[in-house]
Amino acid sequence: MALSSLDEFVILVLKKDHCLQHEDASSSSSAPPSQVISISASEIVSWDLSEILAYASVKIRVHRTRLIEESSYFQGLLSGSFSESGLDHISVDWNLETFLNLVMCLYGYAIDVTSTSFLPLFEAALYFGVERLLSICKTWISVLVSSNDPASPKLDLSDLIQMWSFGLEHAGDFLPDLCAAYLAKNFMLVKSDEYFGSVPYELLISCIKHPHLTVHSEMHLADALLLWLDAERRMSGFSESRHDNTVNLMEQQKEKGMTHVYLKSVSPTYVKKVRFSLLPLSFIAGRSKSHGFSKFVDQSLESVIKLKKIPSTYLVDSLTDSPPADLRLRLTEYTEILDLSGCRQLNEASLLLSVLPNSYFSNLRWRKSLKSFLKNPEDDERNREHLSYGTLPILSFESLKEIDMSKCQRLNYKFVIKCFSKSFPSLRKLRAAYLLNIKVFTVLELLQNFRQLTEVDLTVDIAPIIPVQASLFYSGRGHCSLSNITRLTLEGRSDICDMGLQSISRLCDSLCYLNIKGCALLSDACIAYVIQRCKYLCSLIVCYTSFSENSILALCASISMTNEHMDSNSLAPKLQMLHMSKCEGITETSLFNLISQTQKMKSLCLRDTKVSDSVLCEFPGSSLEALDISNTTISWMALVRVISRNPNLKSLKARGCKNLLQLQGDGRADYSFPLFSAHEVFKSLSKGSGLEELEIGWGFSYFSLESLRPAVSFLRAISVGLGASLGEDALKLLSSACPLLESIVLYFQEISDSALASILTSLKHLQELALSYCFGDISIQSFKFSMPSLRKLRLERVTRWMTSDDLFILTQSCPNVTELSLVGCLHLNSDCQPIISGGWPGMISLHLEECGSITDNGVTSLYGCIALEDLLLRHNGSGIQKSFLLDATLKFPMLRLVSLDMCDAKEGGFDAPEEEEGSHFLSIVKISRCKSERCALGRVLAPVHRETLVMLWNGQNYTKTLIKQRL
């Protein structure tokens, strides 16, 4: 039909393909797929897209002039010499939903651009030449890429890869560049995506060379690249061409004494450093056997060790005139978390270099000014003629909210506070665990310099004994404003005394969470004072402290320790977490008074206390998620009562509770009944929402596990101890009843090869396996299965037969173990040392006790485990050198804990680090002494423990204590 005017309408006809018709027909009943619907663009406001999409064919009545003005495609089609220009019906072969959105855009209506819809809309905009839609798509992706708002929508990685590929072919540099920028900015989010291994090689290269590459640490970047390499190797089938591509992703070269590791493609134009000198030793050692990294290990270790030995000022002297990129932490405007944990090589120079702009290094005098400040940061205020910190162009990273600098022992805390307060003004969480040089007055400085700080973690190893001396003192500097701290962790701080904690509490009126576990010098009166100062406390961890009568009275608002107005509302009813393991001296009346008021409690730990049934039965709460009553006299009746009232219980720890077993009148266990008491407990548990953690002993059996099946399908960790009798059937049931298990710990259980094989082959998520004092017939055959997920392995008194060959098999089956404990492996010898260090170079914790003659020839071959933090060597052969402790502080730079025995000393003893040598990382040393005894027939019996020398360095005091207990 001929047209009489250009102002008339045109009908656009769209038909779905067969596939889409079938899909819509099965999912919608609003219209038969064979019908046609006619709609008008003039009535867009009333369109129901879900209804329209149900039809097989759609006719859209559109203004001809609108099409010509808004679309170059329709302008050419309808205004030119094409035959369609004279028709009033035009067929369009395009996705119906996308085209409907395009028409809406032509008429000025808002359309919803999402991660999924972007590419179809962008492609339609390009094809039909709709500039308005192109602008909308470009604006959407540009805003998304540049946005700093965590609530902004996220791109699915699979969609991003498609966008990038489409952009390369159809959109020039615009879309590929934005995709690379988004990937760089969101690298931490994307690296754990299941499609990360499918990221094209060129896109990955563009991402890692992008200035906005944002990672928590160099370790996360290196780990992601190694994961990508492994995925690439699997997908490529190890073909030569692909193999060359992926191997070339990492290439190392040396420049002026410093090690540089580059990421590059086959083309030499793509070059980017990976800063291996900023990796933790544990990561480097742990990845030494990884494909794509093994050839860089030696040089990377050398770089880290050298950096660890160079003082800040010397480091500045060694730099060239260009910005020292390989020593600078990766910080961008999008960085939210900075993870420096384990990087003991970091010093003040590395930190300061990281917060200066590149333009600063164009000044030829920059090294002199940096050295001047590094020598004495306090000169900043007094010596303005030198270019110092106050006048340095320090960058501010407003997005950074969280820093973990745990184990960074070389960082001077005064410098860190000054630098962090300038560069990270929005800092809210600070973790500085295992740093002995941070004192109480450091905490006070933190609270005064970081106004938005809400969480502080200063955990150190808990001292095995109470120190005999302390000289902590803090002198305040006048009135201090209150901080916003809500969470404070001081676990293990044996250097903190009453005055220090009281000073902190005066600044922390907003404190909600306090962990003072193992702070042995704090008095009950001090803890009570803090409780009453901090009116918002709802989580309190006071294990192994003097928490007692006064503290309980303070929680129940019965006394005032602050001489201030008392709030009539006590803290006890507000408590959601209370952990008080091994807190002694508490009367049953006081405990009764406290427990009876904790109706909001979610996590309660009464391990190793004198809590009784009468007290626990008074627990009024119904929101309990975690309960620990291990090594108490609680019976099944009280436990059932609590469990039945708390259906959301996720964690139950009740090992060592003998009263969970039905007893006869004479106090002996009654085995004549089918453990009815324990059955009641497990029956109650099975009615809950499901357990995730279980520690149990007395009364637990195959029947218990069977009755618990409804409750343990999501179980992550199980520990079974003395008094339980699982048997082979129960152990085999574990893999099917608890498929998500990550940790299995068994004490005094009978176990066989078949049962162990069932566990190790079925539980693919298993990360921890501990067998202690178990009996049964197990052999190396049980451990010949691949267990790449296993990280912690304890075999104590269960593998007496183990030889060097068996140990080697173990390193092949469990290549990623970082914590190993072997006890009673009598056939092991010194050949095992290179097997351990070669098989598990990333070992963090190593315990070897009564393992044949492993240390007969010294411990030299163990030095390959360079990342060791915890080492126990006892009764393994008398070949350990007298200088071992001094050597270990050099060979194991991360070593914190050492346990030895005089029996193993080659020269009758060990040289101990002196007080002035306390700058090293080693904080706790335990040296035991034994004596041999003979039986009546003159045979030498097993050594009998006599005493333990404990040497403790808490960062301020160095103490030596001799005790009778074996630690």
Predicted confidence at residue 171, as pLDDT, reads: 73
Look-up: residue for tokens 């009033």?
A: 88
433-484 pLDDT tens trace:
999 888 777 788 888 888 889 999 999 998 887 554 333 333 344 455 677 8
Side chain identity, residue 415: F
Q: 813-826: per-residue pLDDT in tens?
A: 999 999 999 999 99
Confidence at 830, pLDDT banded by 50, 70, 90: very high
Range 587-603 average pLDDT: 94
Tell me what pLDDT residue 360 has: 80
Give the pLDDT of residue 233: 73
pLDDT surpasses 80 at 534: yes
Residue type, 19: C
Main-chain phi, psi angles of 245, to 5 degrees: -60, -50
CA atoms of 297 and 311, how far apart (whole Å): 23
The reported pTM is 0.86
Q: Looking at the predicted structure, is the pLDDT value of residue 23 above 60?
A: no
pLDDT at 271 over 50: no
Question: Is a pLDDT exceeding 70 seen at residue 250?
Answer: no
Token pair belonging to 257:
């004494």
Mean pLDDT of 174-190: 93
Sequence-distant (6+) residues with CB within 8 A of 953 are 436, 913, 918, 922, 923, 924
| Alpha carbon distance 922, 886 (integer Å) | 10
| pLDDT range class, residue 942, cuts 50, 70, 90 | low
pLDDT at 267 over 50: no
Contacts of 270 (CB under 8 A, 6+ apart): 205, 206, 209, 263, 264
Range in 214-228, 477-491, 863-877, 881-895 the model is least confident about: 477-491
- Sign of the CA dihedral running 257, 258, 261, 264: negative
Q: What is the pLDDT at residue 376? A: 65
Give pLDDT, residue 513.
97
Overall average pLDDT of the 732-749 stretch: 93
Predicted local distance difference test score (pLDDT) of residue 33 = 52
Q: What is the C-alpha to C-alpha distance for residues 818 and 90, in angstroms, rounded to an integer?
A: 69
Span 152-167, pLDDT tens digits: 888 999 999 999 999 9
Distance, in Å, from the CA atom of 848 to the CA atom of 900, rounded to the nearest integer, reads: 10
Q: How far apart (Å, rounded) are the C-alpha atoms in residues 374 and 321? A: 18
The rounded mean pLDDT for the chain is 84
Write out the two tokens for 792. Answer: 């912690």
Residue 946 has pLDDT above 60, yes or no: yes
pLDDT band, residue 952 (cuts 50/70/90): confident
Section 595-606 average pLDDT:
95
Average pLDDT of the segment spanning 364-393 = 62
* Contact residues for 11 (Cβ-Cβ < 8 A; gap 6+): 59, 60, 61, 62, 88, 89, 90
- Under a CB-based contact definition with an 8 Å cutoff, are residues 628 and 616 in contact? no
Q: What is the pLDDT of residues 794-805, one digit of tens each?
A: 999 999 999 999
For residues 758 and 769, give the distance between their C-alpha atoms in angstroms, rounded to a whole number.
13
**Tokens 């690439």 identify what position?**
232
Task: Classify residue 511 as left (phi > 0), alpha (psi -120 to 50) or beta.
Answer: beta
Q: Mean pLDDT over residues 887-912, rounded?
A: 91
The β-bridge relationship of strands 9-15 and 57-63 is antiparallel
